[in-house]
Amino acid sequence: MTIETIHRSCPTCQACCGLIMEVDRKEKKVISIKGDDQDPRSKGYVCAKSQAFRYVYEDPERVRRPLKKVNGEFVEVSWEQAFDDVSKRLIEIREQHGKDSIGMYYGNPNAHNGHTMLYTMPLIQGFNTERLFTAGSMDQLPQNFVGDLLYGQGALVPIPDMARSDFFVCMGGNPLVSEGSFMGGVNIKSMMQGIRDRGGKIAVLDPRRTETAKFADRHIFIKPATDALLLLAWVNEIFSRDAVNLGHLDHCVDGVDVVRELAKKYTPEVVAESTGVPAEALRQLVTDFLSAEAPVLYGRIGLCSQAFGTLSSWLIQVINILTGRLDAPGGLMFSRAATGQSETGGDVLEFPYKRWQSRVRGFPEYMGMLPASCMGEELECEGEDKIRAFVTVAGNPVLSVPNGKRISDGFAKLDFMVSFDIYINETTQHADYILPSTVQLEHSNHDFLFATISQSNFVHYSPQTFEPAEDSRAQYQIILEIVSRFNGSTADELDNSILKELVDQIVGGSEGAFSEELIMEKSSAYTAGDRMLDIMLRVGPYGDYFGHNPDGLNLEKVMAAKQGIDFGPLQSMLPGLLRTEGQRINLAPTIICDDEPRLAKSMTQTDLKRPLLMIGRRNIRDMNSWLHNINQYARGKNRCTLMIHPDDAKARNLNDGDRVKIEARIRTHEVELCISDEMMPGVVSLPHGFGHVYADTQQSIASDKLPGVSANDLVDDEVLDMPSGAGVANGVPVQVYAI
């Protein structure tokens, strides 16, 4: 046995911790994975999910070769047959029924694959369908929507600079379990302790006393989907105390008076009953925030995936801006990725909204996407323009999208379906073809997306560990083959055109500094995604500019830095980063402010038939539905339980461990009950990502040990956040009763 040591970053979550792997390349075996104590960011820290990509690589049920469904059973076929058959069938459907007869769902795992990210736009543009759905509308879409309106681009989402904060307020997030969603932190617990060590405090507002709330100095229960009411009252307090201080952004913020007027009627007393937060508790929180030297207010998925996700996400930005905490050390700041995605100052872009609508509901698209909650009804839609074929790309919408059972039934009626995936799961069981890609240990990786939402500016390249089987394909290769054939070219021609588009963009924006010949020559050592990565690094904020800055970055230098490169703390980037008219921030976009009457109306609305409100939750060993077929993560007691407060259980004569029915408007599930004072009275919690109960899947561990129930089967797909279109998975009205 010849053991080699390999350094890489963990590809499972947004923290991107540094790892040391011991491997036997000849036998293609991982001997060990542990934290890299020399990594400048993670310093040896890892969480339970650090082993996940190894277990996925070793999973015998992972699909490794193309599968075709023949007489209801999957059989292996060659890549050439798969590529030819899939492209031919999709072309036939497009030619007969139009491009929008093909739907697409793009899943969350793609964000963890750097090469896939580079080929995502060619994939989307290649199919050019108005029926595009993504996991984003069940996650961060309201934050993107707000980023577009305030800062000029949806990708501009500022994150809390915890390393320099002295008062961290967390709403709708559980970073001790998520490891920092949209705040890219390594060892969040240590970061939070660092705040304390500097004499600071941590406050959490959440309907459940989460792991983060238990660690915090203060936890305040808040009723689900009332965050916008509380935040408007917070804004009201800022104005009533004459505490507005825009700091260095004073010269470039408009709309302050509009916000003042909007918040005028929302005092802490007015919202107290609706939110469940006493007026004095909110006032004390505001007092502590305003008296801190470097406070920051952070809101995450609990604020996004609710009926007022856009309003809530907007108000998080508003409060930080009004108090001078945007673009300030310890406040909300923007990361600066080495590949230049954050270098967005320049031409003002069109707001990518309402260029077309969904067929059934007429809901407007945003960023080229329709709400995932519209998938079920769009799949059911009859007529000449109905969806006849569907492409899923590393996603499992049957479990991850509202009313997943409706989506599953819709998939079963399609003329044709193809899935780019490595498992036969609840979604891909319906496919006519499954095209599996290589996994993390079989290809290189770069933390392309997560470097844009990180606590510190960094770059890290993870080398390929094992040579994949000869008949394997990387995800980007599958994309190139299908899209090129679909559009009458070859994979090489498409790849060359993608590269040329990138080069032309750089040449055009360089004012003569770079020529096409220079760029092509300097990057010629690499191909495909690595070549694009090299080019982007060279023209990024730390780049060598093709020799003009010899000390700068290129891919060779990044590869040589085995533990990655840490460029240090986040830096002030405004107003230069803004891609808005006059590089100004309009604090009061009309499309958001116009939603306030709907919020006001919610204060008087109740559902007497279903008096409990359901929220989600996450376990440290879960990653949506990805990791449930891993035996090492399936151990222990059942974690797909319905949490309920003791008083609510007593009122219904329910006992801990009972099997109960949970009834929502669209469906009823049976689930095990867990009585816990972690829950706010009137609120129940069911985790996301379970529901492995479909007979035709081939994930035996998930089916046998972690079947659970799908929380999204209870989520009403007719209810959406306005105006972003995000699904409403938190604050779902339910009833719970004994079986």
Residue 190 lies in a domain: yes
Residues 588 and 666 in one domain: no
Instruction: Quick: pLDDT tens for 564-613.
Output: 999 999 999 999 999 999 999 999 999 999 999 999 999 988 777 889 99
Task: Among 171-185, 354-368, 478-492, name the one with the lowest average pLDDT.
Answer: 171-185
The CATH number of whichever domain residue 641 belongs to comes to: 2.40.40.20
> How many CB atoms are located within 10 Å of the residue 352 CB?
16
Residues 583 and 678 in one domain: no
Contact 472, 414 (CB under 8 A): no
Q: Tell me which of 596, 627, 648 is where a domain ends.
A: 596
Residues 733 and 684 in one domain: yes
SS3 675: strand
**Does the pLDDT of residue 517 top 90, yes or no?**
yes
Residues 592 and 723 in one domain: no
Predicted pLDDT of residue 91: 97
Residues 699 and 582 in one domain: no
Q: Tell me which of 538, 565, 596 is where a domain ends.
A: 596
Residues 188 and 323 in one domain: yes
E strands in 317-423: 332-333, 353-357, 364-366, 389-393, 416-420
Residues 632 and 586 in one domain: no
Q: Which helix (H) or strand (E) holds 296?
A: strand 295-299
Q: What is the mean pLDDT of residues 617-641?
A: 88
DSSP string covering 27-96? TTEEEEEEE-TT-TTTTT---GGGGHHHHHHH-TTS--S-EEEETTEEEE--HHHHHHHHHHHHHHHHHH
Q: What is the mean pLDDT of residues 295-304?
A: 96
Residues 177 and 319 in one domain: yes
Residues 726 and 644 in one domain: yes
Residues 321 and 200 in one domain: yes
Residues 587 and 613 in one domain: no
Predicted pLDDT of residue 54: 95
The domain in which residue 279 lies consists of 161-334+577-596
Place of tokens 């209801």: 72
The CATH number of whichever domain residue 185 belongs to comes to: 3.40.228.10
Instruction: Quick: pLDDT tens for 425-462.
Output: 999 999 999 999 999 999 999 999 999 999 989 999 99
Residues 717 and 664 in one domain: yes
Residue whose C-alpha is closest to residue 323's, from 165, 174, 173, 172? 165
Instruction: Quick: pLDDT tens for 105-162.
Output: 999 999 999 999 999 999 999 999 999 999 999 999 999 999 999 999 999 999 999 9
Contact 387, 378 (CB under 8 A): yes
Residue 225 lies in a domain: yes
What six digits make up the tokens of 596?
A: 């306030």
Contact 171, 297 (CB under 8 A): yes
- Report how many domains make up the chain: 2
The DSSP bridge pattern shows strands 585-586 and 253-254 to be parallel
Residue 266 lies in a domain: yes
Predicted pLDDT of residue 380: 96
Angle at 599 between CA 596 and CA 605, to 5 degrees: 150
Rounded CA-CA distance 368/141 in Å is: 12
Residue whose C-alpha is closest to residue 569's, from 448, 461, 454, 459? 454
Q: Tell me which of 565, 596, 627 is where a domain ends.
A: 596
Residue whose C-alpha is closest to residue 292's, from 325, 250, 318, 249? 325
Q: What is the mean pLDDT of residues 655-669?
A: 97
Instruction: Quick: pLDDT tens for 229-287.
Output: 999 999 999 999 999 999 999 999 999 999 999 999 999 999 999 999 999 999 999 99
**Burial group, residue 194, by CB count within 10 angstroms (0-12, 13-18, 19+):** middle
Predicted pLDDT of residue 345: 63
Q: How confident is the model at residue 182 (pLDDT cuts 50, 70, 90)?
A: confident
Residue 120 lies in a domain: no
Q: What is the rounded average pLDDT for all residues in the chain?
A: 95
Residue 686 lies in a domain: yes
